Structure 1
Amino acid sequence: MFMKALILAAGYATRLYPLTLNKPKPLLPVAGKPIIEYLVEKIANTGKVDQIYIITNQKFYQNFIVWAKNYKQKIAIKIINDCTKSEQDRLGAIKDIEFALKKEKINDDLLIAGGDNIFDFDFDLNEFILKSKKFKDSVIGLYDINDLKSAQRFGVVQLNKKSRIISFQEKPKNPQSTLIAMCLYYFPNIQLSKFSMYLKENIHYDAVGNFVSWLAKNNDVQGVVFKGIWYDIGDKHAYSQACEQFLNKSSKKR
């Protein structure tokens, strides 16, 4: 049975100015193609997803429409406009997810990924989906960044021996581990209504990690640890690192 995928791309990426003044971060090029295409290809190649939704904002909506029109990929892609126009009135990731769920009436198992995530050629997204379906719980992709100071910039996770999340801290000052949350999630359809429940009870709606932390208090949330190369393109330094890494990878494959 097919599932759906939602790519989060409604941010304004002010930390990458001037690169993102007139172009959304997921459409910035890395080794000759937009960041988002690496992710879309990974999703399409799983054979488990029949529809990809990409949620963006009013400012960059047409950029994505033009990109999708010219992008040759067999999987169906739909661009959603969350109608925000600036950094000041943006919805935040959790509200964007709820917006997409309601607008598109999504009621299938859902893979959610950040549009600024970029993985290397060895990253197995199919394995993540297979493990997620085996768990039958909500699942989060994890990465060992191997540095406590760097972990401060992310959601930090602790797992028990059964891979269940027992602690989730969003950008802690004193991380208890170097295992961090990637912006990669699997939610079975029975859990999708929890987004609206969370928003009724909480005011922190920017990072999906806040939702996962809340969810894990009363539900089993599993973690799947990935190896290989992964970048969260949060600033110019990360962007330049990703460009260098993927250019080197591409040249070696030739």
Structure 2
Amino acid sequence: MKALILAAGYGVRLAAVAKDTPKPLLTVAGKALIDHVVERLRTAEGLSEIVVVTNHKFYGHFTRWAKTPPAPPMAGPAAGRAHAGVPIRVVNDGTDTPEERLGSVGDIHFVWSRERVHDDWLIVGGDNLFDQEMTPFLSFARAKAPAISVGLYDIGDIRAASKFGVCSLDAQGRVTLFQEKPEKPLSTLIATCVYYFPRPTLTLIEEYRVQSNALDAAGSYIQWLAEKKNVYGFQFSGKWYDIGSVESLNDAQQHFK
């Protein structure tokens, strides 16, 4: 299994505080957001590599980050972030401006189209912050394979849910309805940017790209998949934050301090 961290956004909504720092490298509790993500990934059984996809504008930021030894508890004997036990590779999607961005689905396709896709893939947003380990999600997802699995979170607020993909599940955890940013959500159970794609499902992204130009939001792809294939949802416990605004960044800093 390989992991892909999506980090190719331009952080427009956080420009006032981020300035020239990419959003996943903003600090919460003394560590970059992406370091929190890597800490969750490094305990995942069977993980052979972490790939970080970013844009040309911030490529240098992430290559420097990847070469810099992390602070404890991730620290170990080898150099760079790889000494957390799993090598990290940074990929440049070639874009320079928000107008050129490939979008989440576009970046997933960009990486997969250049890889020898002989692996299952765990995908995580570089601006997602959560305090649960990946092991329960991976155990669930592997049990449901070859179906795709998505990490879910009960946000507890109908109005807040309208900003995300909203899910309904059956008794087996299968997604029976997926609404991408609905005006009137049917529940408060939302999709996080955590996905598990078994190897046989990777080619579906080609079919999606032919049928849809909605490449910016991964939720649109999950909605399309749920209408065609079995997709299962695993509900995370603990806290989860999508760091998309100054307010959510401040909330996360308060929780994780």
Q: TM-score range by the shorter chain?
A: over 0.9
TM-score under structure 1 length normalisation: 0.94
**Structure 1 stretches lacking a partner, 5+ long:** 248-254
Letter in 2 for 1:55: V
Letter in 2 for 1:128: F
Specify the alignment match of 2:28 in structure 1: 30
Partner of 1:231, secondary structure, is strand
2: CA distance, partners of 1:167 / 1:107: 30
Q: Tell whether 2:218 aligns with 1:208.
A: yes
Specify the alignment match of 2:230 in structure 1: 220
Shift of 1:106: 2.7
Equivalent pair of 1:142/1:180 in contact (CA under 8 Å): yes
Specify the alignment match of 1:57 in structure 2: 55
Specify the alignment match of 1:75 in structure 2: 86
Equivalent pair of 1:155/1:169 in contact (CA under 8 Å): yes
Equivalent pair of 1:12/1:20 in contact (CA under 8 Å): no
Partner of 2:177, secondary structure, is strand
**Structure 2 stretches lacking a partner, 5+ long:** 70-80
2:183 to 173, 181, 192: 173
Q: Tell whether 2:138 aligns with 1:129.
A: yes
More displaced stretch, 16-25 vs 53-62: 16-25
User: Following TM superposition, where does structure 1 have runs of at least 4 consecutive aligned residues deviating by more than 3 angstroms?
Assistant: none
Letter in 2 for 1:81: N
More displaced stretch, 184-193 vs 65-74: 65-74
Specify the alignment match of 1:90 in structure 2: 101
More displaced stretch, 19-28 vs 6-15: 19-28
How many residues in Structure 1 have an aligned counterpart in Structure 2?
243
Letter in 2 for 1:44: R
Instruction: Name the Cα RMSD after superposition.
Output: 0.9
Letter in 1 for 2:133: D
Specify the alignment match of 1:236 in structure 2: 246
Shift of 1:74: 2.2
1:190 to 196, 200, 208: 200
